[in-house]
Chains A and B, each alone.
Chain A
Amino acid sequence: MYGNDFVPQEDAPGGGLLGQVEAAEVALREAAARSREGAAAPGEDPAAYFADVIDADQKIEPRDWMPDAYRRTLVRQIAQHAHSEIIGMQPEGNWISRAPSLKRKAILLAKVQDEAGHGLYLYAAAETLGVSRDELVELLLDGRQKYSSIFNYPTLTWADVGAIGWLVDGAAIVNQVPLCRCSYGPYARAMIRVCKEESFHQRQGFEILHTLSHGTPAQRAMAQDALDRWWYPSLAMFGPPDGDSTHSAQSMAWKIKRFSNDELRQRFVDMCVQQAEILGLTIPDPDLRWNEERQAYDFTQPDYDELMRVIKGEGPCNRQRMEHRRRAHADGAWVREAATAYAAKQRAESQREKVAA
């Protein structure tokens, strides 16, 4: 076919998704501009007001009345999301010191740094719901709140850094783009910022794998091995199948969640197939094939029993990741105390000066 032998920039991996993020941002502004004729006043009937705002696709803001369960659901989801960003720094951080070129080292460092930033945006969004970051960090360190199970798998080779970027960040973006339209304002705004920054993450992962798969035989093998190990855990990132998902229906009604686990998983598979072809790598699923009738790929489901075991704490790296986080937190305690003590001294000093003046 004439004129189709190039890939326009917006069709590169992540490009279409970035467009969706921008569309979500536009929708947020448009919904904000719409007036709700005859809407209940917030003071008279808060529940009706809340329902009106959700119906109009507008955003609930921190000081609005909201059902307790809505608040709890959001706190749990945003906190787990934040924890995932922070724990998710470890598998990739593992390769910063050994990155094979200075350019790759810089990109990886910037990416891991972004993840810390995303964790902080999300903790800040959770804090608007009346819970403190310290409490949430404590819940993580005590093992009472979870993070995404994918980060309990090890990064054994450099190609794993590529696979995390392409598959794990790719799956995360598919999950997160709809959250840019979430009904809770601070979460939606945080997600817009996160998604915009993450588009580079997925591209760098794809580029790493592309370079490897077009490199030496050893590099190619490294890339295929990474895909073999990360494919099914990435599919499992979308959570249990719809029939087994406990929180979904209410979250969909509240417009916290916009699509079901299975819908998002399908979208991800459909995206990856063509990208794997460009990489020249084989997705480790003999039953993967196009279904003309469904206009989607049929594929083998991930092992959900394995997912449940990893969530329970029996993945390859659960203990290691938690111990690492606990140690960093404990080792930093004296520094945080010092900064607090110094700030108190400075405040006392300026008080004394004021009194003296």
Chain B
Amino acid sequence: MSTPGEPPRTPVTSPLWEVFVRARRGLSHTHVGSLHAPDAELALRNARDLYTRRQEGVSIWVVPAGAITASSPDEKDAFFDPAADKVYRHPTFYEVPDGVDHL
């Protein structure tokens, strides 16, 4: 249940991997947690056994946790607020005259 880019960890023998699972076709991969494995092949297999024991997924990504660069909460305003005034990105911004279907 780790979130990428955490405070520094002391070095460990077996690196940390973040796991992303596509639950069903048509959905995007979602972060489900993390695990330890010495290499990518084992990480992928461990992820399958740990996070999809109950058929939770059809596709798995594993990413070395160290390879993820994360924004910090302090940067929230600069990173995400500019999107707040771009209401035109959302379909509800547009008024559709009555009687127009399939739009």
Known A-B contacts A130-B8, A132-B9; the reply to A186 vs B3 at CB < 8 A is yes
Complex CA–CA separation, A64 to B2 (angstroms) = 13
Q: In the bound complex, how far is the Cα of B13 from the Cα of A340, in angstroms? A: 7
Which residues 41-92 in B have Cβ within 8 Å of A in the complex? 42, 50, 53-54, 70, 72-74, 76-77
Which residue of chain B lies nearest to A337 when distances are taken between CB atoms in the complex?
Answer: B13
A325 within 8 A of B: no
Q: Please give the distance in Å from A304's CB to the nearest CB on chain B.
A: 33
B11: nearest chain-A partner, CB-CB: A132
Do B38 and A134 touch (CB < 8 A)?
no
**CB under 8 Å from chain B, chain A span 124-151:** 124-125, 127-135
Q: Are A127 and B13 in contact (CB-based, < 8 A)?
A: no
Residues of chain B from 2 to 18 with CB closer than 8 A to chain A in the complex: 2-3, 5-10, 12-14, 16
Q: Mark A177-203, 1 if CB is under 8 A from B, else 0.
A: 000000001110110010001000000
- Determine if B14 and A63 form an interchain contact, defined as CB atoms under 8 angstroms apart: no
The chain A residue with its CB closest to the CB of B42 is A339
- Whether B1 and A342, one on each chain, are in contact in the complex, defined by CB atoms closer than 8 angstroms, is no
Which of B5, B8, B38 has a CB less than 8 Å from the CB of A339? B38
The answer to the question of A42 belonging to the interface, with a C-beta cut-off of 8 Å to chain B, is yes
A194 to chain B, nearest CB (A): 10
Count residues on chain A whose CB falls below 8 Å from chain B CBs: 38
Q: Give B45 Cβ to nearest chain A Cβ, in Å.
A: 12
A300 interface contact, C-beta 8 A: no
Give the total of B residues in contact with A, Cβ under 8 Å. 29
Q: Mostly helix, strand, loop or mixed at chain B's interface?
A: loop
Q: Which residues of B contact A346 (CB under 8 A)?
A: 39
CB 8 Å contact bits of A30-67 with B (1 = contact, 0 = none): 00000000000111000000000000000001111100
Interface contact B3-A61, CB-CB below 8 Å? yes
A120 to chain B: which residues have CB within 8 Å? 35, 50
Across-interface contacts of A187 in B (CB, < 8 A):
1
CA distance in complex: A15, B51 (Å): 23
Say which residue of B2, B36, B77 sits within 8 Å of A125 (CB atoms): B2
Mark contacts of A326-357 with chain B using CB atoms, 8 A cut-off: 1 yes-contact digit, 0 otherwise: 00000000001101101100100000000000
Q: Is the CB of B76 within 8 A of A62?
A: no
Known: A63-B70, A340-B13. A124 touches B34 (CB 8 A): yes
Inter-chain CA distance A62–B73, complex, in Å, is 10
Tell me if B9 and A127 are in contact (CB < 8 A): yes
Q: What distance in Å separates the Cβ of A63 from its nearest Cβ neighbour in chain B? A: 5
List chain A residues, Cβ under 8 A from B10. Answer: 132, 134-135
Contacts A113-B53, A127-B6 given; does A61 touch B73 at CB 8 Å: yes
Contact partner, B73, options A42, A124, A127, A340, Cβ 8 Å:
A42
* Least CB distance, B33 to chain A, in whole angstroms: 5
Min C-beta distance of B74 to chain A, whole Å: 4
| Chain B nearest CB, measured from A285 CB (Å) | 37
- Please, which residues of chain A bring their CB within 8 A of the CB of B9? 127, 130-132
Contacts of A62 in B (CB 8 A): 2-3, 6-7
A-B contact pairs, 29 of them (CB 8 A): A41-B77, A42-B73, A42-B76, A61-B3, A62-B7, A63-B70, A63-B72, A64-B73, A117-B53, A121-B1, A124-B35, A125-B2, A128-B3, A128-B6, A130-B6, A130-B7, A130-B8, A132-B12, A133-B36, A134-B12, A134-B13, A186-B2, A186-B3, A190-B1, A339-B42, A340-B13, A340-B14, A340-B38, A346-B39
The 10 closest A-B pairs by CB, nearest first: A130-B7, A339-B38, A186-B1, A343-B39, A125-B1, A190-B1, A343-B38, A43-B74, A124-B34, A128-B2
